[in-house]
Amino acid sequence: MRVFVGTDHAGLEFKDHLKQALADAGHEPVDCGAFGYDAEDDYPPFCFEVGERTVVEPGSLGVVIGGSGNGEQIAANKVPGVRAALVWNRSTAELARQHNDANVVAIGARQHGVEEATELVLHFLATPFSGEERHARRIGLVTDYEQNRHRPAGGLPTRAET
């Protein structure tokens, strides 16, 4: 599987390790940056690149890495079609794929040791979407809102009524 990987300076060393681990596991890692250490770089461009490339290539997945993974998840989720999930243990990695069909995983390089973070990413990649109707329906609701800002009938308002 092709796996797009991007990070800012906070995850640069982990990204290099992860690319080798992905290749060793039979995946095709594609480096979306950063390509050198710059303490002042900004993570959103790398996350947008991972997200855009993942969305346009069916069957691929993405990995965004930062210090905590929080901002990277937020940035990746701004790309239409991305469902990025921050993972911090095996259960969240598994459920992100099984229930949410997440196509991008966010990981905090400063939150885990290298081996644990690698295991979480590999577990995410190895877990298939369950395909259960209730999960597919929920993903459809999110996709419909993302594309058309259409809330399901009976949905709660998103702003206060005046």
Instruction: Report angle CA 46, 11, 112 to the nearest 5 degrees.
Output: 135
71 is in an annotated binding site: yes
Residue 151 pLDDT level (bands cut at 50, 70, 90) = confident
What are 4-60's pLDDT values in tens digits?
999 999 999 999 999 999 999 999 999 999 999 999 999 999 999 999 999 999 999
36 is in an annotated binding site: no
Residues 6+ apart with CB under 8 A from 37: 9, 12
68 is in an annotated binding site: yes
What are 46-100's pLDDT values in tens digits?
999 999 999 999 999 999 999 999 999 999 999 999 999 999 999 999 999 999 9
Tell me, what amino acid is at 30? Answer: V
Catalytic residues: 72, 99
CA dist., res. 6 & res. 82, Å (int) = 14
> If you classify domain 2-130 with CATH, what class do you get?
alpha beta
